[in-house]
């Protein structure tokens, strides 16, 4: 198995994102190793030694994805036995030509705290945690979006991802088995209908997820899952609520689709 290093003088999030995106194109497994805050030549030299040791041990060149502001750090890593991929400098020159200004590198600029967006994200996280799973219905009017769906379709993790990554206030509301005989939007959801977004999932996948939580229960039965999903999807169509099927999607993919379909404003940087 090839080793993939993600290295940076900052959080290494950028190198991880770009590196993993590139690696996803190839149908083999990689062992990921992330090393953030490599801020001195001494630290870079230690990382270089780790890369070289891995090459000696495995006989295969490690893949090294890095983003550095200091060119001296870049030089140290480039002199390793790894196959190196430098994302920022690869694009900096053509970007400078297009903008007609020279770059002024500054460590940690990408992920530094911008007061307004940082405050938005903290406020959104607090809101989302307080309005999870329909436990508090008094502040739904403050939500940017309200995710709805039956239990275990991904409402909570998606809500938290929207809040943590984009500063979006995301409430969520579950439709439960007792609702299915006469499923309709409760008053609080009708009043905020423009903010509703539905999640659904394939019944087989839902049954498997529920089985891990409550094995051999009515809640986890394929019959119950089919009933609930059929009713909730009919409600989405009747009320003209946008929705997606989350069966084969990660939280990141669900979030991206929601943002694309709703046009919600992101508060990331």
**45 and 134 share one domain:** no
pLDDT of 106 reads: 62
Question: Do 74 and 168 share a domain, yes or no?
Answer: no
- Which pLDDT tens digits describe the chain residue by residue (269 residues)? 899 999 999 888 889 989 999 999 999 999 999 999 999 999 999 999 999 999 999 999 999 999 998 889 999 999 999 999 998 877 888 888 999 998 776 655 555 445 566 778 889 999 999 999 888 888 999 999 999 999 999 999 999 999 998 999 999 999 999 999 899 999 999 999 999 999 999 999 999 999 999 999 999 999 999 999 999 999 999 999 999 999 999 999 999 999 999 999 887 65
In this structure, the answer to whether residues 253 and 179 fall within a common structural domain is: yes
In this structure, are 247 and 215 located in the same domain? Answer: yes
Q: Is residue 231 part of a domain?
A: yes
- Decide: 154 and 179 in contact? Cβ < 8 Å: no
Locate 129 and state its tokens.
């945690």
Query: Do 91 and 205 have their domain in common?
Result: no
Distances (CA, A) of 138 to 18, 128, 172, 175, 187: 41, 13, 13, 18, 12
What pLDDT, on the 0 to 100 scale, is given for residue 159? 97
The domain in which residue 222 lies consists of 115-262
Predicted local confidence at residue 69, as pLDDT: 84
Q: Is residue 109 a part of any domain in this protein?
A: no
- Assigned token pair, 130: 């307080």
pTM of the model: 0.71
Do 33 and 154 have their domain in common? no
Q: Give whole-number Cα distances, 124 to 64, 113, 118, in Å.
A: 35, 16, 10
How many distinct structural domains can be found in the chain?
2
Q: What is the per-residue pLDDT for 120?
A: 81
124 and 60 share one domain:
no
Residues 8 and 81 in one domain: yes
For residue 85, what are the β-bridge partners?
65
- CATH code, 232: 3.40.50.300
CB pairs under 8 A, 24+ apart, for 236-240?
236/198, 236/200, 239/185, 239/193, 239/196
Segment holding 14, helix H or strand E: helix 13-23
Question: How far apart (Å, rounded) are the C-alpha atoms in residues 84 and 79?
Answer: 9
Distance (Å, whole) CA 69 – CA 13: 14
User: Among 39, 66, 99, which residue terminates a domain?
Assistant: 99
Would residue 108 count as lying in a domain?
no
Same domain, 120 and 245: yes
What pLDDT sits at residue 47?
98
Helix (H) / strand (E) element for 171: namely strand 170-175
Residue 14 sits in the same domain as residue 40: yes
């Amino acid at each position: 198995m090839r080793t993939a290093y993600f290295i940076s003088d900052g959080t290494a999030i950028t190198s991880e994102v770009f590196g993993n995106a590139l690696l996803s194109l190839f149908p083999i497994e990689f062992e990921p190793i992330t090393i953030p805050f490599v801020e001195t030549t001494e630290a870079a030299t230690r990382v270089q030694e780790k890369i070289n040791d891995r090459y000696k041990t495995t006989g295969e060149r490690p893949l090294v994805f890095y983003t550095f502001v200091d060119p001296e750090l870049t030089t140290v890593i480039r002199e390793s036995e790894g196959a190196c991929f430098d994302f920022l400098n690869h694009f900096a020159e053509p970007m400078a030509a297009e903008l007609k200004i020279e770059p002024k590198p500054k460590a940690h600029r990408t992920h530094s705290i911008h007061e307004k967006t940082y405050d938005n994200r903290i406020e959104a996280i607090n809101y989302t945690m307080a309005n999870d799973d329909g436990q508090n219905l008094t502040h739904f009017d403050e939500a940017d979006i309200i995710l709805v769906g039956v239990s275990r379709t991904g409402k909570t993790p998606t809500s938290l991802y929207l809040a943590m990554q984009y500063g979006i206030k995301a409430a969520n509301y579950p439709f439960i088995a007792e609702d299915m005989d006469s499923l309709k939007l409760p008053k609080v959801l009708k009043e905020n209908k423009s903010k509703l977004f539905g999640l659904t999932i394939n019944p087989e996948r839902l049954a498997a997820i529920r089985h891990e939580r409550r094995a051999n229960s009515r809640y986890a039965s394929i019959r119950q899952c089919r009933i609930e999903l059929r009713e909730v999807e009919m409600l989405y169509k009747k009320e003209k609520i946008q929705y997606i099927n989350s069966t084969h999607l990660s939280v990141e993919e669900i979030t991206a689709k929601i943002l694309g379909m709703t046009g919600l404003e992101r508060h990331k940087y």
